[in-house]
Chain A
Amino acid sequence: MTAIIEARQLQKHYGGPLAVRDVSFSVTEGEFLSLLGASGSGKTTTLRMIAGLETPTGGAVLFRGRDITHVPAAQRDMRMVFQDFALFPNLTVWDNVAFGLRLRINRGRVTQEEIKARVGRYLETVMLSSHARKMPHQLSGGQRQRVSLARALVTDPPVVLFDEPLGSLDASMRKSMQLELKRLHRELRKTFIYVTHDQEEAMGLSDRVAVLQDGRLLQIAPPDDIYFRPNSAEVARFVGAANVLEGVVESRGDGVAVVRLAGDARVEARDNAAGVAVGDPVTVMLRAEQLRMARAGTAAAGGIAARVTERLFLGDKVRYELRLPGSDTRLTALDTGDRGGFQLGDELAVSADPQHVRIIGRSLPGGVPA
């Protein structure tokens, strides 16, 4: 598979720290790639450089192998869906969707009948046929975003860019739009590049997720890799509820490494990291939902002692904040369906399958508990 879009060491400098630094990745034809990051991570700037709405201060953007870094936005074969919809308020829904096609009629690339057919078809696709004559301000947020989607798709672009398209919608509307986007991607087989700060959205929609922080690309991988095999503590912390702990490798053997944490607690980790030796300071990660909890002193007990310091009922699950006695180490645990039923102040024993505890890298000396 060939890359349809390639970012090559993209850089953007506004004055001050670099907004985007040396971001490189490629997107294959038909892929759904999400750029995930907090605000200020450079994800939107990266997308805008691909769209041609920002000029990179370094690096290049390639489209099917051709350098398009300095091609104006209007001449790029990609359409963008904006967070604020960016509908044209002086035009009806129909005219908004037809806007891109009508520009082509002047250039003899499309006929009047074709425009009519295609606008009609795409309004149907986004279920807005009955609203064609309305003005944008008469529509709800979700409907406006669907107009903007139809307007982007109607010109049949090979690449569609999304800049936090669901960011200004309420939660239930966001959920239904996510399903719609997923369906559209499957049906249209176009390349989608999608910027979001919502990790659930990124993981649920995408074939691959690129995690950005402070202008740097931390990891680009399929969602399950990002979730279970993060390449750094930053990625682990950003995606899902993860416990990221510092420790020192005490022993190795049978594919299991024993890591000593602060307060002399020990965890067994999957010995996956090559180049880690006994005595090395390391960072280990354990997903909150993979932490096992039992009441201290019961038969199921084993592992590390911990006390419940906070209990948050989240409906389908309960989130516990735990603290290991004799140290500052805090843990987060998720209990699906509230099977444990623990209360604030309960003394627990927590453990984990060594297969779920991952060494995600050597930590810097100094950040290690003595």
Chain B
Amino acid sequence: MSAGTLAMGRDRRQLLLWLVPPLLWFAVFMVIPYCLLFYYSLGSTDYMTFKPGFSLANLARVFQTEPYLSVLLKSARIGAMTAIGATILAYPVAFCLAFHTRSARSKFIIYLLVIVPWWAAYLVKAYAWKTILGTSGILNALLLNLHLINEPLTLFLYNPFSVVLTLVYIFTPFSILSIYAQLERIPTSMLEASSNLGATTFETLTKLVIPLSLPGVVAGAIITFALATGDFIAPALVGGPDALMISNVVINLLGVAFDWPMAASIGIVVIGIGTALISVAQYLEHRAQVRY
């Protein structure tokens, strides 16, 4: 064996040493929990105690027994609406940040305005919407004072709409940052070239800017969709009985019904659907990504 291969062997051993902590972390906090999830989903319960076993009955129940599947679909619908809403709100902000903010300082200020709400606790932000949309909330007070209504309206709060509104408010920054990251890569000269060739602003937008920003839009939509679909605080605070989402069901199964196999089975279905959706979206994102 030459000195070179010896040195390489040493390098490899050192590399392994460096990799131990992250691999350990990955095993303890990712692999083992997933295995436990599978383990629990295959078992059953007997008077609120867990019995190990090997049965796919729980998984089947997710699809066959109400209300699991319909709640799952509703959660996905709320997630999708959140993703769409966040994208619609985020795009103009990201666009403005990328192309219409010339000075570094105003860029920083807008950037900060996007980020700063994240310093506030999630719970506080979700709760804030209660004080806006509630019967004694700001919105009703305004309408009453304008004499547009005679008594407070209850239709703003405790429905899927208020959940989507709250989730959009909370997760829009993710979309802004991911769309901005794509838009920022577009050189200004490209937009100038487009208008120099006679394109209107609208044509430049539809032919160049939007296609080029698509990977960012998709990436932002995946994040907001995943976060919103799995959310449990917004439905609990502003959702009301109609807006129960899948995470709330899982919490109830775990903490109230002590049906861990059912909770784990729902978890596996959610992870499965999520993985499939994200794979498709990633494929789309990859296809839409262009090289400059």
Question: Nearest Cβ in chain A — how far from B195, in angstroms?
Answer: 5
Output the nearest chain A residue to B210 by Cβ-Cβ distance.
A90
Kindly identify which residue among A74, A83, A84 contacts B199, using a CB–CB cutoff of 8 Å.
A74
A83 to B290, CA, bound (A): 21
Kindly identify which residue among A89, A90, A99 contacts B197, using a CB–CB cutoff of 8 Å.
A99
A189 at the interface (CB under 8 A from B): no
Output the nearest chain B residue to A154 by Cβ-Cβ distance.
B197
Q: Which residues of A contact B203 (CB under 8 A)?
A: 103
Q: Which residues of B contact A78 (CB under 8 A)?
A: 196
B196 near A73 with CB under 8 A, answer yes
Output the nearest chain A residue to B203 by Cβ-Cβ distance.
A103
B190 near A137 with CB under 8 A, answer no
Q: Which residues of A contact B187 (CB under 8 A)?
A: 84, 86
Question: Nearest Cβ in chain A — how far from B207, in angstroms?
Answer: 8
| Main secondary structure on B side of the interface with A | helix
A53 at the interface (CB under 8 A from B): yes
Kindly identify which residue among A82, A135, A155 contacts B193, using a CB–CB cutoff of 8 Å.
A82
Interface residues on B, range: 20 to 34
B212 at the interface (CB under 8 A from A): yes
Query: A66-86 vs B: 1/0 string, CB under 8 Å?
Result: 000000111100111011101
A100 at the interface (CB under 8 A from B): yes
Question: Nearest Cβ in chain B — how far from A330, in angstroms?
Answer: 41
A80 near B196 with CB under 8 A, answer yes
For residues 198 through 238 of chain B, which have their beta carbon under 8 Å from a beta carbon of chain A? Answer: 198-200, 203, 207-208, 211-212
B292 at the interface (CB under 8 A from A): yes
Total A-B pairs, Cβ < 8 A: 69
Output the nearest chain A residue to B190 by Cβ-Cβ distance.
A86
A79 near B211 with CB under 8 A, answer no
B211 near A100 with CB under 8 A, answer no
Q: Which residues of B contact A73 (CB under 8 A)?
A: 192, 195-196
Q: Which residues of B contact A72 (CB under 8 A)?
A: 195
A100 to B292, CA, bound (A): 20
B45 at the interface (CB under 8 A from A): no
For residues 333 through 366 of chain A, which have their beta carbon under 8 Å from a beta carbon of chain B? Answer: none
A25 at the interface (CB under 8 A from B): no
B282 at the interface (CB under 8 A from A): no
A80 near B194 with CB under 8 A, answer no
A128 to B190, CA, bound (A): 21
B291 at the interface (CB under 8 A from A): yes
A90 near B290 with CB under 8 A, answer yes
A83 to B194, CA, bound (A): 15
A99 to B190, CA, bound (A): 12
A137 to B292, CA, bound (A): 6
B192 near A82 with CB under 8 A, answer yes
A228 at the interface (CB under 8 A from B): no
A95 to B291, CA, bound (A): 16
A80 to B203, CA, bound (A): 18
A-B CB contact pairs (8 Å), 5 listed: A86-B187, A86-B189, A89-B291, A99-B197, A137-B290
